[in-house]
Amino acid sequence: MLRLTTVQTLFKCSTSSIKPISRKLMLVFAFSLPLIFNQATETVGQTETVEQSVETHTFSSFLDWCANRDNLEESARMTVDRLLMLTETSDCNQANERLLTRTHLSLPGNQGFNGSPASPTTSAISNLEPLRSLTHLTSLDLSYNKISDLSPLQSLTNLRAIRLWYTPVADLAPLQTLTNLTILELIGTEQVTDISPLSSLTQLSRLAISDSQVTDISAVRSLTQLETLQIANNQITDITPLSALSNLKELTMSNNQVTDVSPLQSLTNLEFAYLCRNPIDNIDVLRPLADRTEILFGALCPAFDI
C-alpha cells in the first residue's frame, strides 16, 4: 500500500529559499517597483481637486515622481506617499537615494496574513507606475493591494521573487519578460484564468497559483527547474504537463477536478504530494513512489484545507 501520512509541513519560507510550511504558504519578501502614469488632460466642466498636469512618461526616477507629487493623479500620488513612508523621509532626494540602495521592497496593502490588519496607517495602492524605474530590485511584495495592471513591472528584469497575494490581477502577460524570476507567488488571485505567459519563466524553482480559476496548466511543462508547485483550489482536470517536471519535490494540488494522477509516476524526486479533495480514480498508480514520497489523499486528509 502507499505510505499515506498526515501533512507536517507544506511550505517553508525564508528570504533565501522557499520550502513548505504548515497550513498556508508563507513567504516574506522585501521589495519595490516603479512605473509611468498616463497624462490626464483638463476637460471643460470637469471638477477635480488635483489634475495631472505633467507628462509622467518622461520621468526617469522616483525623484521625478516625488518632485511632481502635487500634480499627479491620486492613485499615483498614493503610491509615491507609500514609498516616502517606507523610506521614512519626506525629502524627495533622500527618498530616492534610499530606494536606490534597496534590492528588496515590501508594499503590502491594508490587510495582513489571515485577514488581519497590516497597519492602521497603511492603505492599498493601485498604481505601480512610480515603481517603474526601480530596476535594481530583486524581490517585491505587493500583496493585499488593489493592483490590476502589472505592466509597470516589465522593466524590472532583475527581479527574482514576486509575491502578489490577494490582488485583483487577471492578466499575467507583463510578467513574461521577467526571466530571472525564481519565485512567484500568486495566491488568492481569483481573476487569473490563463497562466500561459509564465511559460517563459524557465528559472522558476517555486510557483504558487492557488485560489484562482486556472483550468489549463500546459505552461508549466517548460518550467523544468520547479521544485515546489502549489496549484490548489483551481479548476484543473489534466495534470499531464507535470510529467516533465523531473526536479519537482513538493506538489500541492488539493481541491481540483483531477481524476488521473498517473503523470506523477515519472517524478522520481517527488518527496511530498498533497492530493486531497480530488476525484481520483486510482491512487494505486502511484505505488512506485510509495517508498520515497509522502502522499496525502482520501481519509488521511485534514479536515481543513492548507
pLDDT at res. 50:
44
pTM: 0.79
pLDDT at res. 203:
99
Fold of the 1-25+224-306 domain: 3.80.10
Q: Give the span between the Cα atoms of 108 and 168, in whole angstroms.
A: 14
Q: What is the pLDDT of residues 9-36, one digit of tens each?
A: 333 333 334 344 333 333 333 333 333 3
pLDDT at res. 96:
97
pLDDT at res. 65:
96
Query: How would you write the pLDDT of the chain (306 residues) with one tens digit per residue?
Result: 444 443 333 333 333 343 443 333 333 333 333 333 333 333 333 434 444 557 888 899 999 999 999 999 999 999 999 999 999 999 999 999 999 999 999 999 965 444 444 444 468 999 999 999 999 999 999 999 999 999 999 999 999 999 999 999 999 999 999 999 999 999 999 999 999 999 999 999 999 999 999 999 999 999 999 999 999 999 999 999 999 999 999 999 999 999 999 999 999 999 999 999 999 999 999 999 988 999 999 877 887 665
3-state SS of 20-41? CCCCCCCCCCCCCCCCCCCCCC
Which CATH number is 31-39+53-186 given? 3.80.10.10
Q: What is the pLDDT of residues 57-110, one digit of tens each?
A: 889 999 999 999 999 999 999 999 999 999 999 999 999 999 999 999 999 996
Q: Give the span between the Cα atoms of 178 and 187, in whole angstroms.
A: 19
Q: Give the span between the Cα atoms of 282 and 280, in whole angstroms.
A: 6
CB–CB of 248/270 below 8 Å?
yes
- Return the domain boundaries, the chain: 1-25+224-306, 31-39+53-186
pLDDT at res. 299:
76
CB–CB of 27/131 below 8 Å?
no
The yes-or-no answer to whether 1-25+224-306 and 31-39+53-186 have a common fold is yes
Helix (H, G, I), strand (E, B) or coil at 62: helix
